[in-house]
Amino acid sequence: VSGGELFKALKAGCSPQKIVYAGVGKTPQEIEFALRKKILFINVESYQELEVIDKLAGKLKLKQKVCLRLNPDIDAHTHKYITTGKKETKFGLDEDTIKKIISHRKKFKNVEIKGIHIHIGSQILELTPFINAISKAIKLIDNSDMDMEYLNIGGGLGIRYKKDEQPLDIYEYASRIKKLIGRRKIRLIMEPGRFIVGNAGILVTQVLYHKSALGKDFLIVDAGMHLLLRPALYSAYHEIMPLNKSRKRKYHEFDIVGPICESSDFLGKNRKLPEVKPGEYLVVFSAGAYGMCMAFNYNAQPRCREVLVMKNRFYEIRKPENYQDLISKDKIPPFLK
């Protein structure tokens, strides 16, 4: 959804012909970068954006394939900050605008409209919103006078964060989609992110202090909202457990909080955990998605290392930041020296 993500995907070895570029605020520079890299599709979010893509493609003397992102006005039944398929959100095109683009398609000489894209939100645990959105997209394809080859159904597949949550049944999802498409000759594109990596990552944090105040027990740890923003931003729940289990320890109710100077800086509230001493470690589960990519340096806190583990092998894939990293891009203007 940005030129930076496109750059990182290419550097990681992704084939340009397996990349689709979405995002509601693509700059002309980012669009030109995508065009030069000859990616598979650009997902169009507005009429004006399509005009910019067409103009830049013409300048480069090439034709770019695009999909039109439909806003189906579907409630995804997820957190309001990560629902993207309702009419009041900034995402996608309404049906009337898509019909207008299709009727004006001869005007856009440097793009090829090849399909419809939808993405109604993130962390969705029900099938019905997906099926309703896909049904609207298929109906739009059927009623157009174009031979559209692709349907990009986006991502948003939910995972289990709590023990009592049920992740989306991917097999039922596939069966329902297959039934909807029927004999239509449509190629499907999916964008699962969290579903692949969410449960695969953990955040390991060290306990600094056990603080009791006014009947409340806090475990103050060295990781906070600067490393895992989801609890502060979405009131999201992550399972938390001591790294070393012991049946002999008594359980207490704790708030697990970080070092940042904000009351919203917590990893978990009212959690029943065994007694943990300073210097011991806690594990925050399901931190593989929207962890490091949302981390930041508030309060001049360096970001932590990332380690990839595969069976009995491990490798540091991102070095921890140090204090020098925090000022490496800063400059003092001459008139202040």
Lookup result for tokens 């729940």: 237
The pLDDT tens digits for 301-332 are 999 999 999 999 999 999 999 999 999 999 99
pLDDT for position 242: 96
Lookup result for tokens 């579907």: 74
Q: Domain coordinates of the chain in residue numbers?
A: 3-197, 201-323
Torsion sign across C-alpha atoms 54, 57, 63, 66:
negative
Q: b/e for 206-228, b at 16 or more Cβ within 10 A?
A: ebeeeeeeeeeebbbbebbbbbb
pLDDT bin (cut points 50, 70, 90) of residue 268 is: very high
Torsion sign across C-alpha atoms 326, 229, 127, 134:
negative
Residue 213 predicted with pLDDT over 90: no
218 contacts: CB under 8 Å, gap ≥ 6: 209, 210, 211, 212, 254, 255, 256, 257
Span 185-207, mean pLDDT?
A: 96
- Reading the block at residue 232, the tokens are 């502060």
pTM score over 0.75:
yes
Helix (H, G, I), strand (E, B) or coil at 101: helix
Torsion sign across C-alpha atoms 301, 303, 305, 307:
positive
pLDDT for position 214: 86
Q: Which of 14, 67, 261, 304 is catalytic?
A: 261
Residue 14 predicted with pLDDT over 90: yes
pLDDT for position 141: 96
pLDDT for position 233: 96
Q: What percent of the chain has pLDDT over 90?
A: 94
pLDDT for position 248: 82
Q: What percent of the chain has pLDDT over 70?
A: 100
The pLDDT tens digits for 132-161 are 999 999 999 999 989 899 999 999 999 999
Fold assignment, 201-323: Lyase, Ornithine Decarboxylase; Chain A, domain 1 (2.40.37)
> CB–CB of 251/205 below 8 Å?
no
Residue 247 predicted with pLDDT over 80: no
261 catalytically annotated: yes
Residue 130 predicted with pLDDT over 90: yes
- Tell me the CATH class for 3-197: alpha beta
Residue 93 predicted with pLDDT over 80: yes
> CB–CB of 314/307 below 8 Å?
yes
Span 226-254, mean pLDDT?
A: 93
Cα→Cα distances 220→207, 208, 259, 265, 278, Å: 6, 6, 7, 10, 9
Q: b/e for 71-94, b at 16 or more Cβ within 10 A?
A: bbbbebebeeebbbbbeeeebbbe
pLDDT for position 158: 94
